[in-house]
Amino acid sequence: MNKNKKGKPFTFADSFILVIGYIRYSFHLPYRQTEGIIKATGKSLPGNPPSYGHICKRINKLNIDINRDRTEGVVSTKKGNKLVR
């Protein structure tokens, strides 16, 4: 996660940001409402929950591409493709 990264290390893993991206996509939410959901449900997160700007930047860095079929979708990230049913 933080390998070869310059500057302050990430607090939240890419997988957590990916889940936030799925929530945002599934419910058609803007970033501020997504941040509110994470604040409301993430009481046990270490430190402060990510802000909407942080969520936006990290989701865009992951380069998420969701293609939906009738029964399944393919999620493409920099680390490879994942099949979602």
Would residue 4 count as lying in a domain?
A: no
| Beta carbons of 8 and 67 less than 8 angstroms apart | no
Q: What is the pLDDT of residues 44-55, one digit of tens each?
A: 777 788 888 989
Would residue 8 count as lying in a domain?
A: no
Q: Tell me what pLDDT residue 7 has.
A: 80
Would residue 7 count as lying in a domain?
A: no
- Whole-model pTM? 0.65
Would residue 2 count as lying in a domain?
A: no
Low-confidence ranges of the chain (pLDDT < 50): 69-71
Structural domains of the chain, count: 1
Would residue 6 count as lying in a domain?
A: no
Would residue 48 count as lying in a domain?
A: yes
Q: Which range of residues forms the domain containing residue 43?
A: 14-84
Would residue 5 count as lying in a domain?
A: no
Residue among 40, 39, 48 nearest 12 (CA): 48
